Amino acid sequence: MTYRLRRQLISTKFKINKSLCKLFIEPWSEYQRGFWVWNVGFAVGKSERQLNDWYRRRKNKRRRSLEKRMTGIDGFKPISQGWKNILRLRWKIPPGDSILLDCTGGESERQFKMYKHMTNTKNRQHPEWMFDENKKEFYWTRPPYPDDPVWQQGTIIPQIPKDIYKPLTPETYWESFYLSSVQIDAAKNTKLITAKKPDGK
């Protein structure tokens, strides 16, 4: 049980030296009844209009000039900052929804390796992010997961954990939503489950 939701595009922009970067997180499709996949788009360009044209796939020169480029002249820095913004904005999607990060654009192999490095290196452990080597996709699901029994125990109210950049643990899983005080003790006794990969776009 949950409250009525309105899913709308989430975006943010930032500058790295002379490069303008923009991140888009948009509700894409319902992958399970009541739960949606959100598509992530990230690009580096010269103007906000160019970045918006790229994301909306406008048929113009501004968009085409970005098609085969992953970063601007600042190399790895925009990707690193973009990843931090994904970790920050992921908490704005509704409970049970999933984020899909697709690396099939320009320089897809290099892009996939960079994001894999972000989630699976010694100092950047985010085991709750799943990935598909063949499709070059990453997935993350906001707790509680759709098949968590807690959905049957009352109204789910989302909240943002104290440290938005930390990976999910049993503790941070429960920090990201709450039930009524009567319900929460019983719910915490249920086993923490693992997210399943959504069907995608």
What is the pTM (predicted TM-score) of this model? Answer: 0.81
Phi, psi angle pair for 160, to nearest 5°: -95, 130
Classify the C-alpha dihedral 104-13-11-126 as positive or negative: positive
Tokens 């950047």, residue? Answer: 124
Tokens 């943002």, residue? Answer: 160
Give the tens place of pLDDT for each residue, 22-36.
999 999 999 999 999
**For the chain, which residues make up each domain, given as ranges?**
10-188
- Of 82-91, 171-180, 186-195, give the lowest mean pLDDT range: 186-195
Give the tens place of pLDDT for each residue, 45-85.
888 888 888 888 777 766 666 665 655 556 678 888 999 99
